[in-house]
Chains A and B, each alone.
Chain A
Amino acid sequence: MPDIISAENLKKSYGGNIAVDKLNLHIKKGEFFGFLGPNGAGKTTTIRMITGILKPDYGTIMIDGHASSEKQKIAQTIGVIPESRGFYDWMTAIEYLGFFADLYGITGKEKEKRIASLLSEVDLTKRKHSRIGTYSRGMRQRLGLARALINNPQILFLDEPTLGLDPQGQEDIQSLLKKLNAKGVTVFLSSHLLNEVANLCSRIGIINNGKLVAEGTVSELQEKTKLKDKNLTDIFLHLTRNNQ
């Protein structure tokens, strides 16, 4: 299976602080990749570099065979729930998705069909004519997911998609992600919720102080760390504490 995301020697620093240091990532098509790290480890910076929001100081990125300079092609391939979750509060859900569909060049019946299907998938059909400003945090997260899926992306990047959600909200998002991955969408999930990552992801990468300190399935990580009977939380703490 070819790599759908390939990042080589990524480096980014802010002033004198190195946020990401010589990071290499290779993700195969259809994978559900979990990206873990403590606060300030470089997760968001890595996602922003891969999705083209930030320019790396050094290194190369390829997304589905496109170099990072091919912004338009990459934008059509990926869907992102970014860390900053601003919405146009004065719009309704249907207007919001319609606006983004326009930006992706989706028009006419196809646009209507896709918006209706996404609203139903994220369970917002009943509130489609309500202003986003009146939505709860969970509804906004689900709308963000619908926006990320408006262009039928092959790769979905999620930066803490369940942050601040109640267990029901978390469960809703997780089951949606499972469905999408089953349909062949490659998922890149950054999360603080280790159980969520352990349950959903086929492979996990752990970043600490800007460096990728471990990568593999949960059992591979157990072997690498020699923590055979331990869970992901123990492995994560072991790796991030040892590398501080």
Chain B
Amino acid sequence: MFTHIWKKEIRGELYTWKSMLWLVIASLLFSFTSYLLLTNQELSLLDQTELLWLLGKIMIGVALLIVTIDASSILNVEFEKETAESLFLSPISLRDLILGKLFASLTLWAAIFVISIPYIVVTSAGSHLAWAFMGYVALLGTLGVVGLVFLIFGISLLYRSSKNTITTALIILLAFATPALFTSTLKNDIVSQTFSAINPIDNIFNSLDNVLVDYKTSLLDNWQFLLPLIVFCVVAFLFLFLSAKRFTKQGIIKND
């Protein structure tokens, strides 16, 4: 059943000028970054692995931002445009609706990833890291997107408003992303180190660093970064589950 919702979302949400604009923006950002990294006098002096790591961080960061903005409205639009009632009067369940919308968000992430492939190929030319780089961007990005979308859908079911959801989701994304951009020298105290260990974005960046800079490409070498990401997805799913339970209890129409 969720595939019908997924198909609808792809047509109605992804094949739109808004989504195409996001993809063009992502592509321009990747082009600009790659161009700078390869041609700028100082940046081109960076070791290729450092350069790939920087590009990987930008790719996943941009993708998470775009998916956050898109996912914040994808569920709420059904309440705001008053289509939810007709939808829930059909045999569709909330689970199917959420699954369909999750796959739509993953499709957007997949489109961004596909766009990033030529840049990965160009910047990793001559190194043996192209496949590992591509594989880890796909894996880490997917885990990050899934966790984030679960979290955003949970917030959406609580607020039922795109505006409130997007504000909250961006605050959460910034709260995760900003400390991840600090250098490790600024993370000396126990609080920063603990936050860094559980912060999904920190773990994405650290895993990329492990793969590209330290050449530790096997999954076993990266489990300490992958595990917190999986835990983040599980916690976000539990939040969505509780939020969905509350939503079901309240009913599709909150107030009359």
| Chain A residues proximal to chain B, CB less than 8 Å | 14, 19, 44-45, 48, 51-55, 71-72, 75-76, 78, 80, 82-88, 90-91, 99-100, 102-105, 144, 147
Contact = CB atoms under 8 A, between A and B. Distances in A.
B88 interface: yes
A87 B252 CA distance: 17
Nearest to B89: A80
B85 interface: yes
A45 B87 CA distance: 18
Interface of B: 1, 4, 8, 11-12, 16, 81-93, 249, 251-253, 255-256
Nearest to B80: A86
Contacts of B249: 55
A105 B251 contact: no
A85 B256 contact: no
> 5 closest Cβ contacts across the A-B interface?
A86-B82, A84-B82, A86-B83, A75-B91, A103-B90
A105 B1 CA distance: 8
Contacts of B93: 71
A86 B91 contact: no
Main secondary structure of the interface of B (DSSP, over half): loop
A99 B82 contact: no
Contacts of B91: 71-72, 75-76, 103-105
A83 B85 CA distance: 9
A236 B83 CA distance: 33
B255 A14 contact: yes
Contacts, number: 73
A48 B88 CA distance: 11
A91 B13 CA distance: 12
Nearest to B248: A55
B251 to A, nearest CB: 5
B12 A55 contact: no
A83 B86 CA distance: 10
B78 to A, nearest CB: 8
Contact of A19 (B4, B11, B256): B256
Given A53-B85, A86-B86, A105-B91, 19 more contacts: A53-B88, A53-B252, A54-B252, A75-B89, A82-B86, A82-B89, A84-B82, A84-B85, A86-B84, A88-B12, A90-B16, A99-B8, A100-B86, A100-B90, A102-B4, A103-B1, A103-B91, A103-B92, A144-B86
B12 A86 contact: no
B8 A51 contact: no
Given A87-B83, A88-B83, A104-B91, A99 B4 contact: yes
Given A44-B256, A90-B12, A104 B90 contact: yes
Residue among A44, A54, A76, A91 with most chain B CB within 10 A = A54
A75 B90 contact: yes
Contacts of A53: 85, 88-89, 251-253
Contacts of A82: 85-86, 89
A105 B12 CA distance: 21
Contacts of B4: 99, 102-103
Contacts of B84: 84, 86
B83 A45 contact: no
B90 A86 contact: no
A72 B90 CA distance: 8
A211 B97 CA distance: 35
Contacts of A19: 256
A44 B252 CA distance: 14
